[in-house]
Structure 1
């Protein structure tokens, strides 16, 4: 073989080796991104497979063992909504950030709840006065303020959020509804709350995590909320079920927490607390919940409008309906605080 031929052969071999190396690099890069994609898919899958039982919409309820193995997940934000900040400081799930329910409520209602301090058990005679004054000052949701509260909690549009409280998910469910109203669809409640977490001997912390604000932009969903004008138009519609979730005494009018007692005409009654197992503070099984709703003639083919006194208990029922796969649920957030204080609205 001539010298020139050998040189061309060497060049060809070198170029081929480089091509092979480049191909290997490309394949390695492809493998790397494939692994990232698989991990992301598994993360979503694991979030959807975290449920306690065979509920129709299981991805919105997580168990303690699922959460306990994911405390270090960078894309997971645990939200503590215990009744007081003092309770949070005494012990919370590691990494949890505290969110004040009053701040969320005042932003959603568009007024400052701090103006009207809840009288509590020490002054029961002032509760009706409190509800009356609160109901007359209901405004429009302050979306920018709500966005700020959520950003400050370290919650972005794609953050996986798990919320818990110390009140059978009563407060946590309200934050669940707020996030859904704002278009955030990766939020779940911790079944049993901190009481179950503590009862199972799982770790607690007093450390406040260094969480900074992250970008969050609301994508409002008007179909999950309603108002008095809509109810007046639709209260005779057979495809609409008004659901009063207050106590029986409030429903029939023997307990009065506003200017007027009673309920919205045509509303059926099912107290919110019936959805919770009183011994474990966990949600009842799918079968038990379906029996409860079926007994009150609350079916999935209709639009269900839960309400209570101030929107908190109704938020809990909103969550239960969503857990059972109800698609048409509209929360009447002002509830009896508004309806019971407006003389122009009918009462039964």
Structure 2
């Protein structure tokens, strides 16, 4: 496995060399405390619906737009060459969305890390801080990556009958049963998380869950949910496990259904 998903001990040993990003709400960051040195970039700040009036982004839960994201990171003192660790207090799903957004705007993928567990897990065994760090704003350099996992609805439609691709719905079972893309398999993103540790289950357990759904490293894995939040966590986990052929349907079921594309129900 890679160091994409990293334990708290890894972060503690490298705190002085990392930029730690807390994506919780400001009241949690200020009132409950945070990882020492962490900056606060709340989840709602990098959601497109926060900037819809400016024509930025693609809708609720979608990418916020290059200028918006660059300003957020620059104001937080984060540069493109920085090693970034993100966390939240929801098993990593909001933090994963931040990391995927950074990847899609060109931050080097080997410098993006998800804290294994979340703030509640960190707080059990490690120091927290209530003071925001002094940061020096910088200019964040957006560079479009040469390759991207993003696919559009037409690519998803073409994948439905592709035996080498497995389309994965990462929502809850009841959502899948109500409506899903034809041919998709269901793996709720939370199935990969241990409720007690709040971090990932063991590699063996995760691979067994994936294999039961027909998700194996020899397949192309195409992920979707409703508004691209939950697939972010599964995408980060699969990258961490070494899956190399991943596709990310940013529009997800919200866009798919709005376009009148066919759906199935269980």
Q: How does 1:208-287 map to 2 (within 5 A)?
A: 208-221=132-145, 222-253=147-178, 262-287=179-204
Closer/same/farther in 2, CA of residues 66 and 180 from structure 1, 3 Å limit: same
After TM superposition, give the deviation of residue 233 of structure 1 in Å: 2.8
Contact 1:110/1:139 (<8 A) preserved = no
1:126 aligned residue: none
Closer/same/farther in 2, CA of residues 180 and 140 from structure 1, 3 Å limit: closer
1:66 aligned residue: 10
Partners of 2:120 and 2:182 in 1: CA distance: 38
When the two structures are aligned, how many residues end up with a matched partner?
258
After TM superposition, give the deviation of residue 327 of structure 1 in Å: 1.0
Q: 1:173 aligns with which of 90, 93, 96?
A: 96
User: Residue 346 in 1 paired to residue 252 in 2?
Assistant: no
Gaps of 5+ in 1: 1-54, 114-134, 254-261
Gaps of 5+ in 2: none
1:301 aligned residue: 218
Q: What root-mean-square deviation, in Å, do the aligned CA atoms of Structure 1 and Structure 2 show?
A: 2.3
Contact 1:240/1:302 (<8 A) preserved = yes
Query: Per-residue CA shift, 1:102-144, capped at 9, x if unaligned?
Result: 121217x97369xxxxxxxxxxxxxxxxxxxxx9778876222
Q: Which has the larger radius of gyration?
A: 1
Runs of 4+ that moved beyond 3 A: 135-141
Query: Per-residue CA shift, 1:130-168, capped at 9, x if unaligned?
Result: xxxxx9778876222222222222221110111111000
Contact 1:173/1:316 (<8 A) preserved = yes
Higher relative contact order (CA 8 A, sep 6+): 2
1:193 aligned residue: 118
User: Residue 203 in 1 paired to residue 130 in 2?
Assistant: no
Closer/same/farther in 2, CA of residues 139 and 166 from structure 1, 3 Å limit: closer
Partners of 2:84 and 2:59 in 1: CA distance: 33
Closer/same/farther in 2, CA of residues 112 and 105 from structure 1, 3 Å limit: farther
> What TM-score do you get using the length of structure 1 for normalisation?
0.69
> What TM-score do you get using the length of structure 2 for normalisation?
0.89
Query: Per-residue CA shift, 1:28-56, capped at 9, x if unaligned?
Result: xxxxxxxxxxxxxxxxxxxxxxxxxxx2x
2:42 aligned residue: 100
1:325 aligned residue: 242
